[in-house]
Structures are given as C-alpha cells and as structure tokens.
C-alpha cells in the first residue's frame, strides 16, 4: 500500500517533469500545439544523444575534455613518441607552441560528429571548422605500416628492377659491392626495358672506374650498345673515344675523334685539326673522305682570301655585277664547284679555283659536273658556254651534241633559268622520243619543233589541227600554209 500511495508533491513533480503532457480536452483541436510537439520530437531524434550517458562530459586526469581537438593532438604526439615510429617522413610535425586554451572550443569529440554544440556555444559545426586555428591543429591520419616498407626495406636486384619498371621509389646507392652492381645490370638487361638499363648504366658510370666498367661491358653486348647510344646522345665524345679504344674498335674511335672538328669555329684551326686526323686508324674509304675534307678546306681558305681581295679592289667585273652573298668556307664540294663555275669559269686547270682542277682533284663524275656547270652558266645567261658543254668533235672534225643525261632534263633546267625560245628549241629537237618531244614543245611553246615534227611524220591532219591553235598573222601560221600547199610532200592522210 505504501508503494501505491504517492504524495501529492511527488505526483506534481512527476507530471511536471515528464517529456509528454497529460491529456486534456482543450488540446484536441489545437493544431498549433501538435505542430510544436512534432517539431520537438524530430529535434529529439536528430540532436539529442542516444544514451543519456553522452550528456556527461568526460575529462582526463589533467582536466581536459576527452575527445576534444587539443586532447587528440596531444594523444597522437604521445603515441608517436612512445612507439618510436619516426621514419615516416611524410607525417607532418605539429607545432604545439601556441597551444589551444582548454575552454577555447565549445565542442566535445562526440558533439563534433553529431553536430551538437555544448551549452553556451552559438557556433555551428561548419563555422567552427572554418577557423584557421582548428585547421592548423587538426591531426592527420598516418600511413599504414605496410607502406613503411618502401623506405626501410632492403631490396634484391630483381625487386629493385621491378620497382623501377613500376615507377615506385627505389634506391641504387645501397648496392656497394661490384657483384651486386653487376647482378643489378643483368636483371635490368633481362627485363628488356631500355629506360631501366640506361638508369643502371648511369649509376655504374658514377660508381665504378672506367677500366672496370669497360671491362664488364665487353661481355654484355646489349648493355654496351645502350651505353654507347647514351654517350652519343649526351655528347660525351671524349669518354666514347676512350671506350672504343679499350674495346679495340680503333675505326670507331677515329671517327669519333674526327667528329670533334664540328666544335672548331676557326677555319685555320679546323684545317690543322683535320691534318692531324689523317694519321688516325681509319678504314680505307673513310681515310679518303677525311683527306678530301682537309684538301677542300685548304683550297677554300685560299680561294676565299683571293676573291675577297679581288672583290674589295674591284679588279673583276663579275664581282661587280654579281656580288658574293656568302663565304665559300666550309661549303660542300658541289657548292664549291658551282661557285667556281660561276666566278672562275675558263681559268686554266693549274689554278686551285678552276672548275677543271676541282673536277679532277675530287673525282667528280661527268654527270654531276655537267649539271652543276649548266646551272651556273645558265644563271649567267652564258648560252655560248652552255652550248660548248654538249658539243663534241669526232676524229673527222664533225661536231655533235652529246650529254650524259637526257636532253629533256636539260630543257627543264634551261627553262627555269629563262632561256629564250631559240635556245630551248635547239635542245627540244635533240629529244629522241617523238611523243616526249611534242609534249615539251607544246609545254614551252616551241612552235617550229611541232610543225617540223608533223612534217616529218607526213601527218596532214595533225598539221591542220595545229594551224587552228596559232594566230593567223604569225610566222608559224604562214609556215604551216606553205607546207600544206607543198605538192612535193607525200602526206599519209
């Protein structure tokens, strides 16, 4: 009975403190009250803690709230010091000098994730994290321990090569012994990866002496080819010469040493360098080329000095009419021949600048000499010299035009140099193929060639048809009329 009997004060306290109000007839139609009750219920679900125990704030021995930002920072730092895991270079150090005040934050760790602020705090969760102070001191998650292996483990040569192929972090400096370095090179070659092979060779180049490296590369042909290519790309010619010398490849060594002339700008020094190269162990063919190079440069220096003096003193009309646009030094042999045919045509064979002397000294073929000389003389409109290039005499004294190249090519060259029609017709007539001859004559408007060809073919209809293509008052039209009226010609149609 005592349990069932409640005092009136206790009843009042129970009903007044309850979350739910007692039923009254006055609230039955009160929609506003219902709305308030629904809103209160929703807020209780979204905001209030699931357990009443969360309402009690937990603190550590120093009086700081457990789960707060400052507590998390200090807890993380203490764990790092206790475990000694300081090898992770990517974990940032936290400066705790301007430590946060204990009461500066109005959130516990649980309230941060639930979005509930403590009593007396008016800031929202997003606003609190927008503050610079909290962003600076927020702890970062450490990498998993499995990733520490990338920095602290010792890899075999095979594992190192695989890591290099996969683009992972690796270190070659830990391979101190020669045997380990050679195993690393062999693994790189077996992987068939040129980038890995080159990277290992660069490491060996830095860590081994030249004698040891060259000795070991002799037995590794693939690695040797990669190393030679790397040295060529990097322009390390001196190192490459030493490598060829140690390998016994004397011809390659001589060619690499000869290539150094490209780095010499002064013509006299380059000439002296080429002269010294003549004693290098070249092959027979290469030795001939090097000798020609030296001889050509030596002559170019002489010709350049002489022509420069003649041009400055105005002693030759050719230099007045056609001033030189560039120096002849270090020019190819064909360019030098063209220069000689342009400025020194007709000189005796005993002079260095004579085209005949250059042709004989450097064994220039007839075809190459003719094309070069034709271009130079046609440029000067020296048609008499052009005609002399193709005129030959037999033992009876008769002259005839001959050419080592087709006359159709000569016609093209002459037309490009604006040769007159009379000159073009002469060489078009020398084309043996009839169809090609007519095609060239039509292309370059050589009417006489076409008319004479149709006459020789005794083709009256072609001649009548071509008469319609020329002007009535032109000499060509009158010539066609004369041929058509000639009764001595036996036309085939």
**Is 119 exposed, middle or buried, given 0-12, 13-18 or 19+ CB atoms closer than 10 A?**
exposed
Of the two residues 315 and 480, the one the predictor is more confident about is: 480
Residue 59 per-residue DSSP state:
B
Q: Which helix (H) or strand (E) holds 391?
A: strand 391-393
Residue 103 has pLDDT above 50, yes or no: no
Model confidence at 3: pLDDT above 80: no
Q: Which residue has the higher pLDDT, 78 or 239?
A: 239
C-alpha span between 329 and 307 (Å, rounded): 12
Specify the pLDDT at position 55: 46
- What pTM was estimated for this model as a whole? 0.60
Binned at pLDDT 50, 70 and 90, residue 473 comes out as confident
Residue 311 in tokens: 């041009």
DSSP β-bridge partners for residue 400 = 392
Say how many Å lie between the first and final Cα of the chain, rounded.
152
- Compute, in degrees rounded to 10, the torsion defined by CA atoms 246, 249, 254, 257: -50
**Helix, strand or coil for residue 398?**
coil
| 183-226 tens-digit pLDDT | 999 999 999 999 999 999 999 999 999 999 999 998 899 999 99
**What gap in Å lies between CA 268 and CA 289, rounded to an integer?**
19
Percent residues over pLDDT 90 in the chain: 46
User: SS3 for 401?
Assistant: strand
Structure tokens given for 130 = 């927008």
Which residue intervals of 248-365 are DSSP H helices? 250-258, 267-277, 284-313, 317-321, 333-343, 355-361
Q: 3-state DSSP: the chain helix, strand, coil percent, rounded to 5?
A: 60, 0, 35
Nearest to 258 by CA among 300, 247, 248, 244: 244
Q: Is the pLDDT of residue 115 over 50?
A: no
What sign does the dihedral 410-412-416-418 (CA atoms) show? positive
Higher pLDDT, 24 or 415: 415
**Residue predicted with more confidence, 5 or 10:** 10
Count CA atoms closer than 13 A to 211's CA, side-chain side: 0
| Bridge-based pairing state of the strands 399-401 and 391-393 | antiparallel
Residue 1: is its pLDDT beyond 90? Answer: no
d(Cα 37, Cα 35) in Å, to the nearest integer?
5
| C-alpha pair distances (Å), 246 with each of 210, 218, 241 | 10, 9, 9
């Amino acid at each position: 009975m005592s349990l069932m009997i409640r005092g009136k004060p206790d009843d009042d306290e129970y009903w007044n403190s309850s979350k739910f109000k007692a039923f009254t007839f006055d609230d039955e139609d009160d929609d506003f009250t219902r709305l308030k009750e629904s809103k209160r219920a929703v807020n209780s679900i979204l905001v209030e803690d699931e357990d009443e125990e969360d309402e009690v704030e937990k603190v550590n021995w120093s009086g700081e709230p457990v789960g707060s930002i400052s507590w998390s920072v200090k807890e993380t730092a203490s764990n790092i010091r206790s475990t000694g895991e300081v090898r992770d270079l990517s974990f940032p150090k936290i400066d705790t000098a301007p430590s946060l005040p204990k009461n500066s934050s109005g959130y516990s760790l649980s309230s941060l994730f639930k979005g509930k602020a403590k009593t007396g705090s008016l800031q929202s969760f997003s606003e609190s994290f927008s503050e610079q102070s909290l962003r600076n001191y927020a702890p970062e998650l450490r990498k998993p321990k499995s990733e520490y292996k990338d920095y602290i483990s010792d890899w075999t040569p095979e594992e190192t090569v695989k890591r290099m192929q996969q683009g992972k972090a690796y270190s070659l400096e830990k391979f101190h012994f020669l045997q380990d370095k050679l195993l690393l090179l062999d693994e790189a070659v077996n992987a068939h990866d040129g980038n890995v092979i080159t990277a290992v060779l660069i490491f060996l180049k830095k860590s081994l002496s030249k004698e040891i490296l060259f000795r070991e590369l002799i037995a590794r042909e693939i690695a040797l080819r990669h190393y030679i290519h790397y040295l060529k790309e990097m322009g390390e010619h001196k190192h490459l010469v030493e490598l060829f010398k140690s390998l016994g490849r004397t011809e390659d060594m001589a060619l690499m040493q000869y290539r150094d002339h490209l780095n010499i700008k002064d013509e006299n020094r380059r000439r002296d360098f080429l002269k010294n190269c003549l004693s290098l162990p070249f092959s027979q063919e290469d030795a001939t080329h090097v000798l020609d190079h030296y001889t050509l440069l030596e002559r170019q220096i002489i010709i350049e000095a002489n022509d420069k003096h003649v041009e400055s003193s105005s002693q030759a009309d050719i230099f007045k009419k056609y001033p030189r646009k560039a120096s002849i030094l270090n020019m190819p042999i064909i360019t030098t021949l063209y220069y000689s045919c342009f400025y020194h045509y007709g000189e005796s064979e005993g002079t260095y600048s004579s085209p005949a002397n250059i042709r004989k000294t450097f064994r220039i073929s007839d075809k190459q000499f003719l094309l070069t000389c034709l271009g130079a003389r046609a440029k000067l409109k020296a048609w008499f010299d052009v005609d002399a290039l193709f005129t030959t005499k037999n033992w009876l004294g008769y002259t005839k035009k001959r050419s080592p190249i087709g006359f159709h090519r000569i016609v093209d060259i002459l037309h490009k140099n604006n040769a007159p029609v009379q000159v073009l017709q002469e060489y078009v007539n020398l084309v043996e193929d009839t169809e090609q001859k007519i095609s060239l004559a039509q292309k370059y408007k050589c009417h006489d060639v076409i008319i004479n060809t149709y006459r020789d073919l005794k083709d009256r209809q072609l001649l009548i048809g071509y008469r319609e293509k020329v002007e009535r008052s032109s000499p060509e039209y009158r010539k066609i009329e004369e041929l058509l009226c000639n009764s001595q010609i036996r036309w085939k149609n």
